Amino acid sequence: MFLYILLAILIFGLLIAAHELGHFLAAKAVGVRVNEFSICMGPVLWQSTKGETTYSLRAIPIGGYCAMEGEDEESDDPRAFSSASPWRRLLILVAGSAANFLVGFLIVLILYLSAAGFTTTRIAGFFDGSPVPAETGLAVGDELYRIDGERVYLYSDIAMLLGRNDSGVYDLEVRRAGRIVPLDQVPLTPREYKEGGETVLRYGLYFSGEEKTVPGAIRAAWNTARDFARLVRLGLQDLARGAVGIGELSGPVGIVSTIAETGQASETTSQAVRNIAYLAAFLAVNLAVMNLLPLPALDGGRVLFLLLTALAEAVTRRKISRKAEGYLHTAGMILLLAFMAFITFKDIWKLLG
């Protein structure tokens, strides 16, 4: 268990470091001055200055940072972040999330390249006694394309999307003979069927498989990364409509605990590595999406402020002071840290309970 906790902390730190590396590479690419790039936080273990940038390795294995000239304050340096054109600043701001998304995609791709094949979303047949063909209009060869307006990217999406609707009646779209065919008000109810000598709960249909190819693995990895991003959106929607409460959210402590439990619950070391890697990929995409939310102190808040100030400066022909943005993000950071402290306390309380 302790080994998995250390591994979880390392994964969490590497994902944040990858985010900061994205900012760093983008800043260097567009000519913005980077004063320091640090892996980890806290006291300095190693430090070296090359050119204008100090590179640091610090003691606490969580996160890192990319300190750019003029990022949160006024600067007379023509290569300061605040002096860069809006498109350059925008590129730097989104690069961190892009790096996290890329990391998530690459992890899943590596996992999928070792798979023998994939289950598709194309209906291969129906269980004996299933009422689905007669009641729904679904046919062998149909590829499930949308369920209640949500795109079906992967086989695993089918159970997830069907499970989000408690009515048992769905609006489907299928791809049939190259055309998208809508099937409205389709009744689908899980029933007990015999499969491999065991009684299983299924919706009455089963799906075809396909052998792994490199293009197929790339496509599946891309769709999985997109699916991860969609799960974040669905989670936020559930939170907004009260389907889930704040008490169900997890912070760093909860995430580390989940990763450790995932490893410990795996039957073999090889399975533990795969399961933890898959979870790390989900966390990477999760960080990518969450950082782009339009909230102060997050990259998304900075992007929103950048777009608003660029529009205001274009209209008024006057430069807007960066102090106001700095105050806004400082206040946002204080609120964010307070919220994270609350979530962390809740996670610790749950562990102790």
Task: State residue 129 phi and psi, 5-degree precision.
Answer: 85, 5
Cβ neighbours around 27 below 10 Å, total: 26
Lookup: tokens for 337: 């840290």
3-state secondary structure of 321: coil
Q: Largest alpha-carbon pair distance within the chain?
A: 76
Whether the Cβ atoms of residue 121 and residue 143 lie closer than 8 Å to each other: yes
Residues 6+ apart with CB under 8 A from 283: 11, 12, 15, 104, 255
**Residue in the block written with tokens 């402590």:** 253
Burial annotation 249-266 (CB, 10 A radius, 16+ → b, else e)? eebbbbbbbbbbebbeeb
In terms of Cβ atoms closer than 10 Å to its own Cβ (0-12, 13-18, 19+), residue 123 is buried
Active site residues: 20
